[in-house]
Amino acid sequence: MNLSQCEIKNILYSYEDTVVARVIPNNDEFANTTSEKPTVIIKYQNTDYPSTELDSRWKNEYRILRAIDSKWVIKAHALKRHKNSHILVLEDFSSTTLSDLITTNELTFSQRLHIACQLISALADVHRLQLIHRDINPSNILIDPATLQLKLCDFALATRLSHKQIKLLNYDLWGRFEYISPEQTGRTSIKVDYRSDFYSLGVTLYELFSGRLPFTSQNAMTLLHSHIARTPESLADIKQGIPAVVSAIVTKLMDKSPENRYQSTYGLQADLDKCFEQWNKNNTIENFILAESDVSLHFNVSNKLYGRESELATILEAYQRACTGHTELAMVSGYSGVGKSALVHELQKNIIATDGLFITGKCDQYNRGQPFLVLIEALQQLLQHLLS
Residue 73 CA to residue 93 CA, distance in Å, equals: 10
* Nearest one of 245, 230, 234 to 276, comparing CA atoms: 245
The rounded mean pLDDT for the chain is: 86
How distant, in Å, are the alpha carbons of 120, 280, 289, 329, 378 from that of 157?
19, 37, 34, 40, 28
Q: Is the pLDDT confidence value at 173 over 60?
A: no
What pLDDT band is residue 243 in, cutting at 50, 70 and 90?
very high
Please report, for residues 24, 31, 260, the alpha-carbon distance to residue 151 in angstroms, rounded to integers and kept in the order given.
22, 21, 28
pLDDT (mean) for 383-388: 78
126 within 8 A of 133, measured Cβ to Cβ? yes
SS3 147: coil
Q: Above 80 in pLDDT, residue 348?
A: no
Higher pLDDT: 9 or 30? It is: 9
How far is it, in rounded angstroms, from Cα 307 to Cα 3?
Answer: 62
Domain range summary for the chain, segments of one domain joined by +: 6-90, 98-282, 309-387
Cα torsion through 161, 167, 168, 169, rounded to 10 = -130
Segment 78-88 mean pLDDT: 85
φ/ψ (deg, to 5) at 19 = -130, 135
Q: What CA–CA distances, in Å, run from 175 to 148, 157, 361?
A: 25, 8, 27
CA distance 346 to 356: 14
Virtual torsion, Cα 255, 259, 264, 267, nearest 10 deg: -70
Please give the pLDDT value at position 3. Answer: 63
CATH 1.10.510.10 given to domain 98-282: yes
pLDDT per position as a tens digit, 87-144: 899 999 887 899 999 999 899 999 999 999 999 999 999 999 999 999 999 999 999 9
Query: Helix H segments across the chain?
Result: 52-67, 98-104, 109-128, 195-210, 220-229, 235-238, 244-253, 265-282, 309-323, 340-345, 348-353, 373-387
Higher pLDDT, 219 or 211: 211
* Kind plus residue range of the DSSP H or E element containing 11: strand 6-15
- What pLDDT score was predicted for residue 245? 97
In the prediction, which pLDDT does 171 show? Answer: 46
pLDDT of residue 238: 93
Q: Are 5 and 30 in contact (CB under 8 A)?
A: yes
Higher pLDDT, 258 or 349: 258
Q: Other C-beta atoms within 10 Å of 192: how many?
A: 24
SS3 string of 110-144? HHHHHHHHHHHHHHHHHHHCCCECCCCCHHHEEEC
Distance CA 212, CA 206 (A): 7
Task: Find the angle CA(175)-CA(180)-CA(183) to the nearest 5 degrees.
Answer: 115
Q: Tell me what pLDDT residue 281 has.
A: 94
CA distance 318 to 349: 16
Taking the C-alpha atoms of residue 117 and residue 271, their distance in angstroms, rounded to an integer, is 10
Fold designation for 6-90 = Phosphorylase Kinase; domain 1 (3.30.200)
CB-neighbour burial class of residue 199 (10 A; exposed 0-12, middle 13-18, buried 19+): buried
Rounded to the nearest 5 degrees, what angle is found at the Cα of 27, between the Cα atoms of 23 and 30?
50
- For residue range 229-238, list pLDDT tens digits in order: 889 999 999 9
CA 86 to centroid of chain Cα atoms = 25
pLDDT class of 149 with cuts at 50, 70, 90: very high
How many Cα atoms are found within 13 Å in the side-chain-facing hemisphere of 19? 17
Euclidean distance between CA atoms 117 and 6, whole angstroms: 37
The pLDDT value given to residue 306: 82
The whole-number pLDDT of residue 174 equals 64
Banded model confidence at residue 35, pLDDT cuts 50, 70, 90:
low
